[in-house]
Structures are given as C-alpha cells and as structure tokens.
C-alpha cells in the first residue's frame, strides 16, 4: 500500500527527509523492463520491430492507436498487458510515454481521446464502434450545391447514443482532408446497401486483407439496428482473415459503417460472430495512408517520457 510511512522506507538517508534508503523492488522490475524495450528499439532489425509492436499494441489497448504515422501519448488502461505497468510506473512519477510523429491536432486523424477527457463511458462506447478520431464523427453534407465536411448532426448523434459528444464537438473546428482507411474500417458500396460489408484488416502480398460481413437476413438494407454475420466462407475460417481483394475495391464510392462489438453466438452447435449496425455515414472519398518506414530501416519512432499535462 502506498502511503507516507511506506515511502520512508525508500527515501535516501541523505535527502532532507530521512529514510532507510532500501531499494524498491517494483521500481527495479520496471527499470529492467524498460531497459529491455529500449535496448531492442535501439538495436534495430527484428528486435526493434518486436519492441515497437509491443508498444503499438499498448497504444491500441489504451484507446490511442497510431493513425497514419501521427504521434500519440499513451495513457493508463485497465488491462494486464506486459507493457501496461510501464505506463502506470511513469504516471506515478508524473510522466507519460509518447510516440513521436506528425502532430495530428486539428486534422481528421486527431484522436477523440484527446478531446473527450472527462467521460470514460462515452470514450468506451466510441472505441467499441471503432470511432476513435475526429474524422470518424464527421459526414459529407451538401449546402447550396457544395459538398463539405461537417460534424454528425444532432439527430444522428442522439440515435447512436452519442449525445454527450455534441457539446465537445461544438467548440472544435471541423477538420478537413480525406479520411484514411485503417485497420477496422468497415465499408459498404454506396450504390447497394444490401451488399456485404468489407472490414479492412491490413495488407498481404499487395492485396487488401478483409473480413466480409453478410446481412443476417438476405436482402436486408444496411441501416441502424440491422444484424450482420461473418459470411459462410469466413465462418469456416474463424476470423476470416485470409480473404483478399484488390485495394481499388475499397476505394470505390462507399459508405462508412460503424458497428457494435463482436457478439459471439452459438446456434445449432455452430459458433459464429454477429454485429449490429450503429451508423451508416457518407464520409466522402477515403484513401490509404502512406505507411511509415519500418524500424529496421533506422528511422524508428521516437519514444520519450514526457511530463503529464
């Protein structure tokens, strides 16, 4: 238990406040853990790739993933992941772990977690539907014959249960620029809302790796409340992570779909995954962001401990 009497055990006897000067075992453990990660990052090659992957996973777990090469400050999160204790350790000393990169402030890639700071429940709801950037809560509207980007309307936010987001967005300028297609982005062809939804997962040999979500009832339109399930071919492969399409398919005119978290269902001795539609949004043209060079090239992410704001 952390209290003043406990801290006296570790204070240096030479300091103004007398103590026993005993080493703190938990501090030593965190120092060793950080030393291993830092050593791997600076070594380069596969070691750097593995260490960076460890920290990048931590950014996703705490709801602050790296979007299109932009910087991100990692926050504390309630999980038992290997690197999570490093963030807690730094926070106890008033420090935070930050990945260097472009400043995303004011762009479509700025994380909602940097603006919604006093409502953990709202942030969790946004993360569950994969809405994590300012661009994710915008849509394309037409005013006087001109198409422009705007925040989701009051009615749309209320229907999605995101009414608490409206006062936050009211004080932020609407960001401009095309939205990036990132892992987890779900799209449906603009011309046929009864078609399958494609969820982008990543790249493999120049092809886009996707999961295909099919309407639970054939012919259902993609609207709020509609249930989707992994396609027959996907079910036999579990996560369906080995289905590939040409990247151009995802760049065709599409609507962005925000869905509920996975719901695991067991029917007739067969297990599958379902999701429910939360929002279907016209977000205009999307693009694939340029990927940063891998750590083995010598241009690693800058990792630093910064003062907590």
Per-residue model confidence (pLDDT) at position 102: 72
Percent of the chain with pLDDT over 90: 23
Helices (H), 135-286: 154-159, 166-169, 232-236, 247-251
**Residue ranges in the chain modelled with pLDDT below 70:** 1-21, 68-69, 77-79, 100-101, 231-242, 266-271, 290-309
Helices (H), 150-290: 154-159, 166-169, 232-236, 247-251
Angle at 298 between CA 34 and CA 45, to 5 degrees: 65
Q: What is the pLDDT of residues 37-65, one digit of tens each?
A: 888 888 888 888 888 888 888 877 777 77
């Amino acid at each position: 238990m952390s209290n003043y009497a406990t801290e006296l055990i570790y204070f240096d006897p030479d300091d103004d406040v007398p103590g026993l000067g005993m080493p703190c075992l938990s501090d030593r453990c965190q120092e060793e853990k950080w030393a291993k990660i830092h050593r791997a990052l600076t070594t380069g090659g596969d070691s750097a790739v593995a260490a960076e992957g460890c920290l990048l996973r931590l950014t996703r777990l705490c709801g602050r993933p790296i979007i299109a090469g932009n910087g991100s400050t990692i926050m504390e999160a309630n999980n038992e992941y290997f690197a999570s204790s490093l963030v807690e350790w730094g926070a106890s000393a008033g420090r935070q772990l930050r990945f260097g990169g472009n400043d995303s402030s004011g762009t479509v890639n700025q994380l909602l977690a940097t603006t919604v700071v006093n409502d953990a429940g709202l942030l969790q709801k946004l993360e569950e539907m994969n809405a994590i950037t300012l661009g994710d809560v915008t849509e394309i509207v037409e005013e006087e014959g001109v198409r422009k980007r705007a925040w989701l309307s009051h009615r749309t936010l209320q229907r999605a249960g995101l009414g608490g987001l409206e006062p936050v967005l009211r004080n932020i300028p609407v960001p401009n620029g095309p939205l990036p297609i990132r892992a987890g982005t779900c799209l449906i062809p603009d011309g046929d809302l009864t078609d399958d939804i494609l969820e982008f997962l990543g790249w493999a040999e120049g092809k886009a790796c996707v999961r295909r979500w099919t309407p639970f009832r054939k012919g259902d339109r993609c609207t709020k409340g509609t249930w989707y399930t992994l396609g027959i071919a996907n079910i036999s492969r579990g996560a369906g992570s080995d289905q590939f399409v040409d990247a151009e398919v995802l760049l065709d005119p599409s609507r962005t779909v925000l869905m509920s978290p996975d719901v695991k269902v067991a029917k007739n001795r067969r297990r599958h995954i379902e999701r429910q539609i939360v929002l279907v949004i016209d977000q205009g043209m999307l693009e694939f962001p340029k990927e940063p060079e891998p750590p083995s090239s010598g241009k690693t992410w800058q990792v630093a401990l910064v003062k907590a704001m």
